[in-house]
């Protein structure tokens, strides 16, 4: 794939609106805010969930959600995807007959924004995943990815209040999507990988959100061995990363980052002193405990 083969489109009028207000001095101001729309997902004839989303890539979001909830199998054949913008619904149709009525009653609420959920029996599948023990990541790739991702036009730079996830290979960002919940953004990438036959080999996953148990579980389930973020960690996220041999890099800002799992995969091939650091104010914020942010 080419670099940023899929990228944010901050100029899409459906994804943000201008709202009038007043600034800290009392002066009138117009500012961009992201949209938030419901999307109801059906698997064949069964209603699965209603998600809050910015509204782009409903097909990717629907397929990725089903994959990460273990309701769509890697060998499933999708016979159709139907999206109705007026009804705010997406229907995923499969050759295999499905009935998840009992499974829908068994959910664990997660720390993801919005309505993130993970089904209880996912942990059994999580424990069975074997990530590539020979995968490597150069620190020069991490620094290059950070710069490219943080400077490309995005809804985050335009309006904020949004999460981004990026599928990368070496120092090249391939797929960059955003949404109001990080779980939605990662599901979009999972859906894209499934629909386009992209494997997890040699891939790196980048997220702007916290490295929670949900992010670790979904990254491992996709078979990607390296997960990096500008944000911090949760204890369970770190524990699960260590159990699954996932490389977990967090608080990556400027020349600084912390690795709390899978550090053996890192090749420190670039002197951090050659990297331009972020302003001191941002560095202090990155060093604060998560609860202080």
Per-residue pLDDT reduced to its tens digit, 25-49:
999 999 999 999 999 999 999 999 9
- Give the model's pLDDT for residue 291: 41
∠ CA 71-58-176, rounded to 5°: 100
Where is pLDDT greater, at 24 or 122? 24
Q: How far apart are CA 145 and CA 165, in angstroms?
A: 12
For the stretch 94-144, pLDDT in tens is: 999 998 877 776 554 444 454 445 545 567 778 888 999 999 999 999 999
Q: Find out whether 205 and 193 touch, Cβ atoms under 8 Å.
A: no
Whether 264 has a pLDDT exceeding 80, the answer reads yes
Length of the chain (residues):
293
Residue 152 makes CB contacts below 8 A (sequence gap 6+) with 4, 7, 8, 173, 176
Examine the pLDDT at 256 and tell me if it is beyond 50. Answer: yes
Closest listed residue to residue 137, CA positions, set 228, 222, 198, 213 = 228
The CA-CA-CA angle for residues 224, 228, 229, to 5°, reads 140
pLDDT at 69 exceeding the cut of 90: no
- Domains within the chain, CATH numbers bracketed: 137-292 (3.40.140.10)
Comparing CA positions, the residue from 202, 169, 205 lying closest to residue 185 is 205
SS3 220: helix
Q: Residue 127 CB: number of other CB atoms within 10 A?
A: 11
Indicate whether 289 pLDDT > 70.
no
- Is the predicted pLDDT of residue 150 greater than 70, yes or no? yes
């Amino acid at each position: 794939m080419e670099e940023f083969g899929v990228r944010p489109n901050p100029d899409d009028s459906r994804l943000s609106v201008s709202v009038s207000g007043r600034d800290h001095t009392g002066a009138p101001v117009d500012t961009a805010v992201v949209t938030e729309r419901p999307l109801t997902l059906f698997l064949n004839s069964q209603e699965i969930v209603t998600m809050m989303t910015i509204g782009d890539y409903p097909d990717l979001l629907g397929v990725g959600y089903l994959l990460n909830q273990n309701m769509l199998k890697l060998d499933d054949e999708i016979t159709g995807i139907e999206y109705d913008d007026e009804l705010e619904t997406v229907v995923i149709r499969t050759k295999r007959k499905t009935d998840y009525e009992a499974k829908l009653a068994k959910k664990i609420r997660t720390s993801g924004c919005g309505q993130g959920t993970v089904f209880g029996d996912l942990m059994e599948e999580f424990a069975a995943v074997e990530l590539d023990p020979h995968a490597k990541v150069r620190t020069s790739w991490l620094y290059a990815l950070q710069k490219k991702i943080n400077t490309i036009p995005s809804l985050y730079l335009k309006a904020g209040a949004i999460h981004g996830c990026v599928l990368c290979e070496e120092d090249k960002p391939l797929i960059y999507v955003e949404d109001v919940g990080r779980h939605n953004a990662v599901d979009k990438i999972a859906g894209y990988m499934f629909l386009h036959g992209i494997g997890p080999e040699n891939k790196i996953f980048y997220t702007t959100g916290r490295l929670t148990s949900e992010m670790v579980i979904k990254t491992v389930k996709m078979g990607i061995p390296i997960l990096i973020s500008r944000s911090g960690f949760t204890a369970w996220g770190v524990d699960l990363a260590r159990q699954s041999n996932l490389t977990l890099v967090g608080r990556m800002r400027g020349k600084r980052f912390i690795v709390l799992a899978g550090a053996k995969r890192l090749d420190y091939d670039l002197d951090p002193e050659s990297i331009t650091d972020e302003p001191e104010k941002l560095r202090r914020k990155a060093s604060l405990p998560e609860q202080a942010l």
